[in-house]
């Protein structure tokens, strides 16, 4: 189910965090696992268009990892130690930064497709 009740001035971060918080555990786990697997394959095999594939998969992996870490941090039943809470907060920050960089790289890769090398001449 898609939440279409976002405020008209909601930021992208608010929309993504709301989507991650409302996603199922299975969805977040699949996003993280499949994203990391595709990133690994793209880096090792370097198929045609590997950068596009790498950037998109990093976005999915970051979304899943951020959602899992956020869910664990906000679980009222779970009593986390200070070290575990700090590590989960670090995972959230790293996933957010990696996802943001991957999103910018993905946009650049999409824009570069129609441009090709013609802009260089």
Helix (H, G, I), strand (E, B) or coil at 88: helix
Q: Which residues contact 81 (CB under 8 A, 6 or more apart)?
A: none
Q: Which of 15-19, 27-31, 59-63 has the lowest mean pLDDT?
A: 15-19
What tokens appear for 62 in the block? 């970051």
Q: Which residues contact 51 (CB under 8 A, 6 or more apart)?
A: 42, 105, 109
Q: Which of 12-21, 67-76, 112-121 has the lowest mean pLDDT?
A: 112-121
pLDDT in tens, 22-60: 999 999 999 999 999 999 999 999 998 899 999 999 999
Angle at the Cα of 72 (from 69 to 77), degrees rounded to 5?
170
DSSP state string for 33-75: HHHHHHHHHHHHH--TTHHHHHHHHHHHHHHHHHHHHHHHHT-
d(CA 92, CA 98): 10
d(CA 28, CA 11): 21
């Amino acid at each position: 189910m898609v939440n279409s009740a976002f405020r008209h001035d909601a930021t992208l971060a608010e929309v993504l965090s709301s989507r991650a918080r409302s996603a199922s555990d299975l969805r977040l786990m699949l996003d993280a696992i499949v994203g990391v697997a595709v990133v690994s394959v793209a880096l090792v095999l370097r198929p045609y268009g590997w950068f596009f594939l790498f950037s998109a998969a990093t976005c999915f992996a970051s979304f899943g990892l951020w959602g899992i870490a956020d869910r664990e941090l906000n679980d009222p039943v779970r009593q986390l130690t200070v070290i575990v809470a700090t590590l989960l907060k670090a995972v959230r920050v790293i996933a957010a930064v990696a996802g943001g960089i991957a999103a910018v790289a993905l946009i650049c890769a999409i824009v570069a497709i129609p441009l090709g090398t013609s802009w260089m001449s």
